[in-house]
């Protein structure tokens, strides 16, 4: 009898879900402003998932946990501007993935406003 854990068994264990509400897949262009950003245009980012409690973003650089970002959907006038606190960032190729919690949870209508975009930009 072996007491070692097979690597396939470890890989099969799902990661811990930290959100209290389900994530919705998303592929939405957005503008993100870090604190103290000057000018009229923020970072060009992509939101890749959203829930009433949080949002996942691609970011151009690492951002410290606790930083408050202003997030505005591009081309979705019904989507409200979000204030999001960075929980983590991790590198992925030439960009950084960021997980953020929303300062003000989204009601169903506001969430729908963010979900009106396409899931695929290709025709």
User: Domains of the chain (ranges plus CATH)?
Assistant: 21-115 (2.40.10.220)
> For residue 21, what pLDDT is reported?
77
pLDDT of residue 13: 42
pLDDT (0 to 100) of residue 121 = 67
pLDDT at 23: 87
pTM: 0.79
Q: What is the pLDDT along the chain (123 residues), one digit of tens a residue?
A: 444 444 444 344 445 555 567 889 899 999 999 888 777 778 999 999 999 999 999 999 999 999 999 999 999 998 999 999 999 999 999 999 999 999 999 999 999 999 997 777 666
Of 31, 22, 69, whose CA–CA distance to 49 is shortest?
Answer: 22
What's the N-to-C CA distance of the chain in angstroms? Answer: 55
- Which stretch of DSSP H or E encloses residue 70? strand 68-73
């Amino acid at each position: 009898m072996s007491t070692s854990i097979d690597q396939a068994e470890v890989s099969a264990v799902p990661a811990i879900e930290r959100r209290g509400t389900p994530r919705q897949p998303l592929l939405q262009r957005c503008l993100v402003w870090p604190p103290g950003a000057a000018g009229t245009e923020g970072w060009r980012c992509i939101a890749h998932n959203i829930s009433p409690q949080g949002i996942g973003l691609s970011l151009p650089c690492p951002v410290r946990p606790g930083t408050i970002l202003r997030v505005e959907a591009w081309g979705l006038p019904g989507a409200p501007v979000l204030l999001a606190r960075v929980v983590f960032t991790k590198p992925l190729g030439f960009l950084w993935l960021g997980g953020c919690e929303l300062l003000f949870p989204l009601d169903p209508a506001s969430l729908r406003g963010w979900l009106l975009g396409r899931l695929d930009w290709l025709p």
